[in-house]
Amino acid sequence: MSIRLRLTLWYSGLLAVALIAFGIIIYGVVQNNTMSDLKDQLRRIDRDTQVNFTPTIRLTGTVRTSIDLNSIYIQIVNYTQTVSGVIDERTLNMTQKPDRGELEFHYPKQNELTLGKNRYVSQEVNGFPFLILERPLSYKGSVVGLLQIGAWTGRETHLLSQLRTILWFSGAAGLIAAFFLGMFLSRKALMPINRVTEAAERIQSGSELSLRIPREKPNDEIGRLTDTLNAMISGVERAYKNLEDSNAAQKRFVSDASHELRTPLTTIRGNVDLLEKIWLSEGAAQLPSGGSVEQDKAGLVLTDGDRREMSLESIRDIADEARRMSGLVNDLLSLARADAGYAMEMENVALRPLAEEAARRASFLPRKAEWAVGPLDALDGVEAKGNRDYLLQLLFILIENGFKYTPTGIVRLYAALSDGYVGLAVADTGIGIGAEEVPHIFERFYRVDVSRGETSGTGLGLSIAKWIADMHHARFEVRSKLGEGTVFTLWLPILKQEKQEWQLPS
């Protein structure tokens, strides 16, 4: 059963109960008012009716001539018994007959009456409805007779019957109309929910995440539900897009990692094959004294010196590629930790000793550019919350990139303070980065076009540096111009500062 039908049935049921209660109240009020007027009239007649007793205790009734006998009838019952035990006499007032037939009120037994206690009785006499007022008559403390004053209630009964018919038919018609009106109104009221359902069904397929449910009345419950669902759909759309981007990035990551690992593996395998060919080729000959000569399958003759030099060159190539693979694996491990939500251990780090340690170690790196340090005075007395080893790794990544992309010129490390942040900057006068490339330099395996094929690298260094910066709630500032150089500045929140604020050198 649909919620629309259930709501309509509930509404119709409540309306039916209300109509029945209303009908009962209306009918009761009309019936009470109608019968109250008739009862008052009977009481007035009772007061005006005089009953006389004869010495033989016979009863006669006297009725005032002003009474309309076409609607009011009086009967006096005599309970004085004869020897035979039957009633001696009943008055002849009941010969007045509205339907030209004699009327005879039914009367109770003598022992059913109580002195001084009148009562109203509804009877049908010859098929006609009557309301009868019964008043017991007493003589010397005992009931000797009964005065019955009856009024024909045909008009009242007909009126009440018509009222019942009107109430039943109007109630039924109102209930039917209310049912169909309720179905219509519930359909209109639930239409936004139907739109929500249709939108959810389309969203379920994942093909229309950009769909939004239109708002009609923002201040009612449906409006608030629509706003909430639209916000939820926006969140799902963002999450879905992030998931798609993440999957695409993961595919690129696997593809680029496979490519980067394939190159050194190919080089290592080629050199191993060459070594095997040099040392295990068929027809190798050892010559005494003046040196040995070896002839390979292609007919080339190698001396021991040539074989030694080729072997050392192959070993050096294998060692270089192994170091390259080791660095790549370490970078991939760092990024895997970043993806897994690795939490660094943080402590208070004094930045001046950290920068000096990085500068000292950087002086031993292979380079073609000059290496300069300073000024670092802005770091005096400044501490930041962080991990010393990872911050040192970040500085080395920036410094190595500076050396790598600066064939001639200078690479410099300096520091500055600004607005509650301390900046560690690595500036070079190298090849620079184009403005359109800067937004992508922190992506994994991304390498600037002008550097591809000219400098070695995996394109993972800056991705790792960005992760370390994010873990320290720091931010990167990159300023670069093609052919003039690049400045990377890491801005760390200051935990402790004892010096005046320094400005960033130009």
pLDDT per residue as tens, the chain (506 positions): 666 677 777 777 887 888 888 888 888 888 888 888 888 888 888 888 777 765 454 554 444 333 444 567 787 877 766 444 445 455 545 444 444 445 667 778 777 788 878 888 888 877 778 888 888 888 777 788 888 888 888 788 888 888 888 888 888 888 888 878 777 777 777 777 777 777 777 766 656 667 776 666 666 677 777 778 778 878 877 887 878 777 776 776 676 677 667 767 877 888 788 787 777 764 444 434 344 444 444 445 667 777 788 888 888 888 877 877 777 777 777 767 666 666 778 899 899 999 998 888 888 888 888 999 988 888 888 888 888 888 988 898 899 889 988 888 899 999 998 888 899 999 999 888 888 888 888 877 676 654 444 555 566 788 888 888 888 889 889 998 888 899 999 999 988 766 544 444 44
* Cross-strand pairs, 81: 87
Q: Residues 150-168: pLDDT tens digits?
A: 888 878 888 888 888 888 8
**Residue 316, token pair as written in the block:** 């050096």
CA angle 497, 501, 503 (to 5 degrees): 140
The residue behind tokens 């991990």 is: 387
116/297 Cα distance (integer angstroms):
149
- C-alpha–C-alpha distance, residues 362 and 371, integer Å: 8
Q: From the centroid of its chain, how far is CA 68? A: 79
Q: E strands along 296-377, which residues? A: 301-303, 347-350, 370-373
Dig out the tokens for 429 from the structure.
Answer: 């006068």
Does domain 345-493 bear CATH number 3.30.565.10? yes
* Contacts with 488 (C-beta within 8 Å, 6 or more apart), sequence order: 398, 401, 425, 426, 427, 476, 477, 478
pTM score over 0.95:
no
User: If you write DSSP's letter for every residue of 424-469 in order, what string do you get?
Assistant: EEEEE-SS---TTTGGGTTSTT---GGGTTTS---S-HHHHHHHHH
Query: Angle of helix 351-362 relative to helix 388-404, nearest 10 degrees?
Result: 40
HSE, CB side, 13 Å, CA atoms: give it for residue 20: 6
SS3 assignment for 92-139: CHHHCCCCCCCCCCCCCCHHHCCCCCCEEEEEEECCEEEEEEEEEEEE
How high is the pLDDT of residue 341? 66
Per DSSP bridges, beta strands 59-62 and 72-78 are unpaired
Reply yes or no on domain 209-342 having CATH 1.10.10.10: no
CA-based Rg of the chain, rounded to a whole angstrom? Answer: 57
